[in-house]
Structure 1
Amino acid sequence: MNEYLDIVLRSLAVYAFMLIAIRITGKKELSQLNTTDVVLILLISNAVQNAMVGNNTSLSGGIVAAAVLFILNYLLKKLMFKNKLLRDLISQQPEILIRNGKLNFEMLSKLDITNEELEEAMREHGVEHYKEVKLAILEVDGNISIITGDQHLKQSQYKRKKKHKSLGDLN
């Protein structure tokens, strides 16, 4: 078999495996990397490198493997945007953790979210007590969004990466 076709097929297999592994481990881990998670990512990347390129340690072999991963990721995102079934299969759904001040203990337990983690998210959103929370949601990116029941919603410490025009700028 052509050595570059071999790299393409190996890269596709590794990408599929990693996608499934990340899907199974859950979304909470995506936003909360700690030291052990960084070490795991480094070790996984080293472990799968050989699985993708085999004996080919050339620059061109590495570039082919990286190109396959970028192209596959781009195509998968396009397909997910257009196909709800695929999007639902690959992406996770937001999960409600608190509704109207009542904790969803079953969901918190299922997602392995500790009381301390939930309280930290509440503090980051300027909320002291569970009773003040109208809705707390574990988003698909692993962050916890909190909406209070107040008329004046509390400002979150979360900062968006992209600048958006304010309503005043649209006129």
Structure 2
Amino acid sequence: MDALIALFGEGKDLSSFQMGARAAGTFFTALIFIRISGRRSFGQRSPFDYVVAILLGATMSRAIVGASPALPTFVASLVIVLMHRALAWACVRSHTLEVFVGGVERELFRDGSFDKQQMLAALVSRTDILETVRKELGTEALDKVHAAILERNGEISIIRKPIADR
């Protein structure tokens, strides 16, 4: 036990070496927790997934700087990761829960018409849609766009019109 205290320190009075050792230990612990949480946490980046990333970072940083004891901090972090995993599992099995947690996609534009009600509900402007069209198609020509959909992760997807319709 004394060797661990010498390596990782105790309380807030930490040497640079001890803080470095805590950072390394926390890094590998976080890596294990992220692997437990699954690819979803950091691959899809929905608001649901950002919550885990933010909480995990905030919680585990406390162990590095000695603001909280390491073991309880790691336990709290593991609880957050396991809750995320369980909720993701439940969302796969319940459409209602999936909609509540992950939201729904919104069709913002179709065949030359903006859906002002969907745009207002999503707080997306015409300029936001045009920006995405410029990025994806290299033009603002909406005559090449069949639809613009706000995805659950907050990105706008552009569906091109078939070449024959342009």
1:46-85 Cα deviation digits (max 9, x unpaired): 8xx99xxxxx820011101100001111111111111222
Distance in 1 (CA, whole Å) between partners of 2:117 and 2:150 is 14
Structure 2: how far apart are the matches of 1:132 and 1:101? 9
Alignment of 1:57-68 (within 5 A): 57-68=68-79
Unpaired runs of 5+ residues, structure 1, are 1-28, 31-40, 51-55, 153-171
* Structural mapping, 1:52-131, within 5 Å: 57-126=68-137, 127-131=139-143
Q: Of the two, which has the highest radius of gyration?
A: 2
Cα separation, 2, equivalents of 1:150 and 1:124: 19
The DSSP-based 3-state class of the residue aligned with 1:66 is helix
- Residue 163 of structure 2 aligns to a residue whose secondary structure is coil
The structure with higher relative contact order (CA 8 Å, sep 6+) is 1
Bigger fraction of residues in helix: 2
Taking every aligned residue pair, what percent have the same amino acid on both sides? 22
Asked whether the 8 Å contact 1:102–1:130 carries over to 2, the reply is no
Q: Is the 8 A contact 1:97 1:137 kept in 2?
A: yes
Coordinate RMSD, CA, aligned: 2.8
Contact 1:97-1:107 within 8 A present in 2 as well: yes
Tell me the TM-score normalised to structure 1 length: 0.54
- Residue of structure 1 in register with 2:37 after alignment: none
Deviations 1:9-28 (A, max 9, x none): xxxxxxxxxxxxxxxxxxxx
Partner of 2:148: 136
Letter of the 1:151 partner, please give it: I
State how far apart, in whole Å, the 2-side matches of 1:85 and 1:116 are. Answer: 32
Report deviation, 1:108. 1.3
Q: Tell me how far 1:45 sits from its aligned partner.
A: 4.1
Is 1:149 the counterpart of 2:142? The answer is no
